[in-house]
Structure formats: C-alpha cells, structure tokens
Structure 1
Amino acid sequence: MKIVAALGAAALVLTTACAPGSENPGGQAGAPSSVKTDAAALGDVSLTVWDQEVRGGQAAQMAQLVKDFEAKYPNIKVKRVSRSFDDLKTTLRLALSGNDAPDVVQANNGRSDMGEFVKAGQLVPLDEWAKAYDWGSRYPGTVLQYSRYSADGKTFGEGNLYGLPQVGEVVGLYYNKEKLTKLGLQPPTTWAEFEDALAKAKAAGETPMQLGNLDKWPAIHVFGTVQGKVTPADQITTLAFGRPGASWKTPENTKAAETLVSWVDKGYFNSGFNGQGYDPAWQDFGKGNGVFLIAGTWLQADLAKALGDKVGFLLPPGQAADAKPVVTGGTGLPFAMTNKAKNKDAAAAYINFITSPDAMKVLTSTGNLPIADTTQQQPPAGLAKDVFTAFGTAVSQEGLVPYLDYATPTMYDTLGAALQDLMAKKATPQQFVDKLEADYSKFAAK
C-alpha cells in the first residue's frame, strides 16, 4: 500500500466556526476556532501522553520519537506514561473523567472505548488540525474511517476524526519454520493444508497452536480468523461496525464456532490455554514451543528477536490458494486528544510528529509495521518482509475486515467471555451466537 506523504505548512493558522454545543447531544468537545501548527512558537509546554507501546519494538520506536520531538521542540517537554493494553483500557476511562487527565492518549477505537469517550465529550475532534497538517494526503479514507465517529458516538466509521494511528495491523499465522520442515510440510497455501498441518503436528507430539486466553480478547482474533474462511467479508464488516441489517445468528457464524470447538476437541491448542496469559503464550512460542501462533503483526519485533530466521508469517490461507484474503486487521490504536488538554496545538503537533513520514522510517527500523508510506520502506529480509508483504496484499486486495469487538459498546466484554465459555465447553455454538445476538440486538434497538 502506498499513502502519499505530504507535510503541512510550518506555521499555518486556520479559522473556522465552532459547532454549537447544543447540537452535540453527547456533549461533544468542540474544535477550537483557530489552530496553530508552529509548535516552536507555543511557549513552554508540558505534555502528558499515555500510550500502550510497551513491547520491544513498540517501546523502542516511541522512545526514539519522543526524544526526536523534544530535540526539535525544546520548548515542549513530554511526560510519557506507558501501560499495557489491558492496564490502559482499565485506567483510561476513570482518568478522562477526572481533572488531571492526560493531554494525548492512545485509545482503543472500538465502541466500548473511543465511541463512549466521544459520546461523553472527552475527546476533541481533530478535523481542523487534519486540514492544517494535510493528514488526508498521508492517510486514505479507508484508514481514517477507523477513527471516525458521529458526534453522539453512535455511528462508527463516519463523522469527525478523533485519532490518528501509527501502525497497520493484520492478524495472521506466525509459524515455526524448523518444526514445519521436521513435519515434512511447507507453509500452508490453503485452509485444508493449514488444518492438515495442525493434525500432523498433534500426531507428532508437537503443540499445534499456542494460545493464551486468560485475558479473553486473544480468542477474538482466533475466532475472527476462522470466521473469515466461511463468512463473506461484507457480512463481517457490517457486523463489526455495528451497522443495521447484520446478525450473529447465521449458519456461517455458527459453523465458525463449531470449527473452533473442534480444534479444542482435537487438542490443537496448548493445555490450559484459557488460564494462560497472552504474553506468556507468545513468549512460549518464541522459545520454540508450538508450530503456529495466530496473532497480530504487533509481535513482529519480539518474535524476530526470539526466533530469528526460524519464524515466518503469512495471511490465513483461503479455501483455495488464489482466494481473496479475508483477514482481521486495520490500524493500531490511534492517538487522540483529550478535552482536558491544556495546550491543544501542542498535543496536535505531537500527534502529527509521531505519524509523519520520518516517523514511519523510525517504525520500520524498530521492527514495526507503519500504516503510511508502507511501500516506500525497506524492511529487512525475513519476518519483517513477510509482514510487510502480507499487509500489502491484504490492503491491495481489499481483504481487511474490522475487529469484531468494535460492534457495540459492550461487545468487547461479551465476545471475550462468550469465547471463553465456548472453548471451555460451557456453552454450545448455538448458545454462543445467541449471546452475541442478544448484545447486538440490544444496541441496535437504541
């Protein structure tokens, strides 16, 4: 994918009318009447930023970009607070409602987080800064839609812009090359070959697939991978964005649930997967335990460091080798501005800096997948090249579908818990889809 890079003018000031608060039923934070992009002229500023860039390559790129930002703008000091995804999700809601909220936050763009924050008026729409910095020339609409909401937080994928992501994401198959070779197998090119590899790994005494589902959300990615093989992409997209006309109670979704249960019955996952954390699971894979790991491209740097040239990555194969990909993905968590930001222009300058073309080069060099200028980067051979190729294929063939937990404000919790019950054999596939449909129907009725 190529997203044309362009930089906004260094000292542009735009003046626009503010939208009246009375027209924002959710109490939306309004955009300012003017914005400034000359960050060096903003005076001394202290900027508090919360992010979830805690893993190896993620932490490295953020530390470098903060250092570079402060070097370019010595008048702005960044106080960076880094938390794990789960910790950030837990603490952010309370923080945004307090008087000491951070200026910039990395917020999960699903309805349960960003949608609710928009509804509560806790995030500032970034549209005027987007014009000033010309973000539209760096990011296509298909990327920006993942950070757009209507003012009331009801409609996802349309409306005002509330965040800007750094990285692209796609959920695929990490595989241990050595183990596949010992099994006499090549990387699978069809879904049947993939399931055959799982069966042969189990028969040979290997752990076919690593999964740590204590945190509940990891199984969402596994289910989404299976769902994409039996469910049309447009049906998944409509469902995940919570739009009218979608339903969980379909033969395709039930079949996906049945397939997941069959994998449990066949022993394709590591023992005790529902009680193991996400990080310990992928770290175990990184130690050479397991043939496959269904996970996102955010693990690229860490797994490359752990396994070197022994690890590969590919998109989940289709029913046929030439099938169009249907794969969960999109953007990483976008960076957003809170309504408590003390200097909103400084906050916007920070967001612009860490998503600039130069920042994309830093992301590439630290083992991450930049969302912009992707085809202009030079990833090293091996896992990085696999990841860049897979993401480029998914985007160019329009095969990306949104994360399923985007669907409703409560779907993250509902789906995660339902998958734990399904895979623990505490609920049947039919009970599983019934539970999800109840959540979905309740939201649609509002």
Structure 2
Amino acid sequence: MTTPLAKTRRRTARAGAVLLASLAAAGAAACSPPGEGGRATQDQVAPASVSTDIGEEPIELTLYDGAGLKAVDEALIEAFTAKHPNVTITTRFDPDDVQAQNAPRVLASDDPPDIARIIALGDIVGNGQLTKLDAWAQAYGWEIPEGQLAMYRVDDNGVRGAGAQYTVASGFVVTGLYYNKEIAERVGMGEPPTTIVELEEDLAAAKQAGVVPIMAGNQTGQLIFTVQMLLNDALGQQALNDWVFNAPGATIDTSEAADAVGTVANWVEAGYFPADTNGTDSTAALGRFARGEALFYPSGNWDAAALEEQMGDNVGFVLPPSSDGTSSLAMSDPVSNFAIPAKSDAKDAAAAFLDFLTSEEARQVMVDAGFAPSGEGDAPTTEPGSLNAEVQAAFADLVEADGQVQFVQNATSGINATWLAQTQLLAGGGRTSPADLLTAVQAKYDEELGR
C-alpha cells in the first residue's frame, strides 16, 4: 500500500525544483505593493502578551503557501491537528511562480491567512505585515541553530541575519555532490573527496578515463552549484550570507572570489563539464548522470528520490569538499519560511504550529518527504542504506557544523538572471573572465539595492 507520505516523497523532485524557481523569482514581491491598509498596528506586529496555551475551544487557522508544497504541508497539518484536535487548518495555495508576488496583497487583505510562507522576508517586514515571534520563542524555549535563526531575522534597517525573529522554516533543502559508485571505483576514487585537491584529482582521473567529470545542465543554471561550492570555501559562511542578506557594504567582487571562480574556469577549459552544458537543462542532466555519463552531479535533496529510483545503490551523496578537509559548508535554504501575518487574529494557535515545526513529529514528516528537517535534535528515521539516509546524515553534519549558506542567486530580485547569463559565458569557452563575471554580478546587485 502506498502511504500519503510515500506519495509526498515521490513529489520531492518536483517540489524542490519548484522551490528553487520560486526563490529565484522572490524579489518580484518587492515590487508588489501591499495594498490598502497593508501596514498593521504596532500591537499587531509586536503583541504585548502571548500564550502557549491554545485551550480546547475550536480554532480555525488558514495556511498560505505555493502549490508545489501542498502535499508536504498537508502532511504537517495532519500531524499537528492530531496533537491539537481543536484546531482546524484550511489551506490556500497560489501557483508557485506567483506566490511570492501575491504574498504582500494576500497579507494586506481583510481576511489574511494565519500562517504564510514568506520569501521576500526583508521587504514584507518593511511593509509592517508580519508578527515578531521573539515573545513566543522565549515562551516556548525555542532552541534553533544560529545558522538557521539568521534566516528568520530582520533588523530595523531591513537587513536579514540579525534583529527580531519573524519566521520558522518547515524544513530545508541541502546541496552536495552525488557520485556514481561504479565510475568512482573504475577511476580509482576510493572514498568521496573531502578536500578540493582530492576533488581535482578525481576530476582529472575521470577525464583520463573518458568519463564526464561533472554533469551540469547550465541551460537552467546548474553551473552555479559548482561556482558557489568554491565561493563558500573561499569566502566563508558569514561573508556569503551577509551578501545574500544585503548587509551594508557587502560585496562578492573580491580577489578571493575571483580565485574561486577562476578554478571553475580552469575546470571548464580542462573539459570537466559536458561540452553542451549550456544546451542541457537540469532534467536532461539528471537523466544523463543516472545513465552513467558522469562521475559527479552537484545538486540537492530534491533529486535523491529520482536518482535512487534510476540508479539503485549505485549512487552516493556527500557534502561539498573544502580546502582544509574539515569545514562543512553547503547551500541550504528553507522549504517554507513560515510567518504569522500581523493581521492574524489567532496568533497563539499559529505560533503553536510554528513551534510544532521543530518537533520530532514534524521533523520526521519532512524527512519522509525527502527534505531536511527544521531545528535540531535526534535524526529522524530513514530506510537504512537508502540515498535519503545519506542525504539526512550529511545534513545532520552540516547543522552540527553550523554550515548552512544561503543561495547566492537569491540575493536580489534580478540577480539570478545575471548569474545565469554570466555562468553561461564562463562555460561557453571563456567568453568572460572571473573578474568580469563578479563585477557584472556585483553591479546588478548594487543597482537593485540602490547603492
């Protein structure tokens, strides 16, 4: 018998792709006016008193999200309402490609949701449309890893990463390197690489054996996974997150970043990516990797179910290597970054749902769906030896190391298009230099932020 969560797991690949697409389009929400009466009162934004007791009287909540996450949201709701049978949660879903743009108007309406996925967090906080969660965080005693908490905070200047807490994630995506075990054995890769030097040795061995070293569908921007893997290592978590969070003075146009992008340029010149990478999309790249065309495939948890279905136990997953072989940094963003709209009239019950997201039950729901769990605690159960088990073990290591880094293509509304265009030039025979690529990206970033 197929369970609802098993069905959810099979939808993870689609939901992950939807998630990345909606994140990349998120900044359009900054251009969407909140509508009439959009700004709430100070007491709505920062309630004077809160409670963790939601009683036994019937309570009705509405949850708002993108349609691609319907299955996992419904699984979370089912688990929450089993613990709180007096609470009924109805759902409202918008198409994923417009949910971010619609959110300010939905939150400003006469009948706003009580729980809402927020992508353009800084902008919507600036509109005065969200509730500060710090009082509930203290009342419930939330213990959230600092790297995750930074994704939930916005300061008085609209800069993310510090200040009041406004959101809690339902779960996370996590990125790393998938590898073909049979090819790895053939080219003499005894263990997955833990250092950049070891990775380069494995890439050279694959090339020598006539195998594509790194599969990437750069028609849809997959080269950025490799670029940011090296940027993470060169610049570090704080610098990259500050840039994505739009911290004052943040820049990616540095000599260290140019060296990292220069490494990717060298790999392009050495033929470590498919010759037709710019004409290959992510779906085709996954299929080609699954058929045995490449040693490595940089991607995320959203591809695990499809790869395991096609490759069985011939595929493994590890976090990206680093220069020193000890630090763990990987791109990892929220699945749904849930907030309580300021105009909600059931904030305590909505906060109970956010509290539930870091519980053992909710963490298990997210893992069963193929995502990584929110918060910290004992690792949820997975099928021993499965690819999902490898992904979850890698994510647990990442959280323990506090190594989650935001996706650089989500720093501003239009920056994803610039990253795509520039990495396509980089992959297309060196039609740009690392320095010129970074200058172009930083110029777009500064333009969009009015700097």
TM-score relative to the length of structure 1: 0.77
Query: Do residues 391 (structure 1) and 359 (structure 2) align?
Result: no
Task: Kindly provide the amino acid, as one letter, of the partner of residue 164 in structure 1.
Answer: V
Which residue of 2 is the match for residue 79 of structure 1? 91
Counterpart of 1:429 in structure 2 is 434
Please give the residue correspondences for 1:212-361 in structure 2 after superposition, counting only pairs within 5 Å. Answer: 212-216=217-221, 218-244=222-248, 246-286=250-290, 288-320=292-324, 322-329=325-332, 331-341=334-344, 343-361=346-364
Task: Give deviations 1:7-51, integer Å, cap 9, x for gaps.
Answer: xxxxxxxxxxxxxxxxxx999861334435444645352513214
Q: Unaligned regions of 5+ residues in structure 2, if any? A: 1-38
Tell me if structure 2 keeps the 8 A contact 1:329–1:403.
Answer: yes
| Separation of aligned partners in 2, 1:51 and 1:94 | 15
| 1:47 match: secondary structure | strand
> Residues 363 and 305 from structure 1, CA distance in 2 versus in 1: closer, same or farther, beyond 3 angstroms?
farther
Residue 13 of structure 1 corresponds to which residue in structure 2? none
SS at match of 1:35: coil
Query: Equivalents in 2 of 1:90, 1:63: separation in Å?
Result: 23
Shift in Å, 1:435: 1.6
Paired residue secondary structure (1:325): coil
Superposition CA RMSD, Å: 3.6
Give 1:147's match in structure 2, choosing from 139, 152, 155: 152
- Once the 2 structures are TM-superposed, how far is the Cα of residue 144 of structure 1 from its aligned partner? 1.2
Counterparts of residues 100-179 of structure 1 (less than 5 Å): 102-108=113-119, 113-134=120-141, 136-137=142-143, 139-153=144-158, 155-179=159-183
Please state how far the C-alpha of 1:195 moved relative to its aligned partner.
Answer: 2.4
Is this contact kept in 2: 1:124–1:339, CA < 8 A? yes
Q: Is the 8 A contact 1:244 1:444 kept in 2?
A: no
- Change in CA separation of 1:279 and 1:151 when aligned onto 2, cut-off 3 Å: farther
Structure 2 residue corresponding to 1:362, chosen from 359, 362, 365 = 365
SS in 1 for 2:169: coil
Q: Which residue of 1 aligns with 2:64?
A: 49
**1:298 positional shift:** 4.2
Cα pair 1:169 1:298 within 8 Å, conserved? yes
CA distance in 1, matches of 2:260, 2:175: 17
Distance in 2, matches of 1:180 and 1:289, equals 12
Unaligned segments of structure 1, at least 5 residues: 1-24
* 3-state SS of 2:116 partner: strand
Aligned length: 409
Aligned AA (2:170): Q
* Paired residue secondary structure (1:291): strand
- Out of 190, 197, 206, the residue aligned to residue 202 of structure 2 is 197
Closer, same or farther: CA 178–334 of 1 in aligned 2, 3 Å: same
Could you tell me whether the CA contact under 8 Å between 1:248 and 1:437 is conserved in 2? yes
Name the CA shift for 1:326/1:351 in 2 (closer, same or farther; >3 Å).
Answer: closer
SS in 1 for 2:362: helix
- Higher mean alpha-carbon deviation, 118-127 vs 262-271, is at 262-271
Q: 2:74 aligns with which of 37, 54, 63?
A: 63
Using the TM superposition, give the Cα deviation of residue 99 of structure 1 relative to its aligned residue in structure 2, in angstroms.
5.7
Cα 1:325–1:52 change in 2 (3 A) is farther
Percent of aligned pairs sharing the same letter: 30
Amino acid at match of 1:64: A
Give how far 1:60 is off. Answer: 5.7
Task: Write the letter of the residue equivalent to 1:223.
Answer: V
CA contact (8 A) 1:173 1:313 kept: yes
Secondary structure, counterpart of 2:89 in structure 1: strand
1:119-162 deviation per Cα after TM superposition (whole angstroms, max 9, x unaligned): 1223322223323333x23x133421211002442x21111111
CA distance in 1, matches of 2:161, 2:57: 33
Code of the residue aligned with 1:31 in structure 2: it is A
Which residue identity does 1:180 align to in structure 2? A
- Give the Å deviation of 1:331: 4.6
Q: TM-score, normalised by structure 2?
A: 0.76
Amino acid in structure 2 at the alignment position of 1:261: A
Structure 2 residue matching 1:361: 3-state secondary structure: helix
Q: Is the 8 A contact 2:422 2:437 kept in 1?
A: yes
Report if the CA contact (8 A) 2:61-2:350 is conserved: no
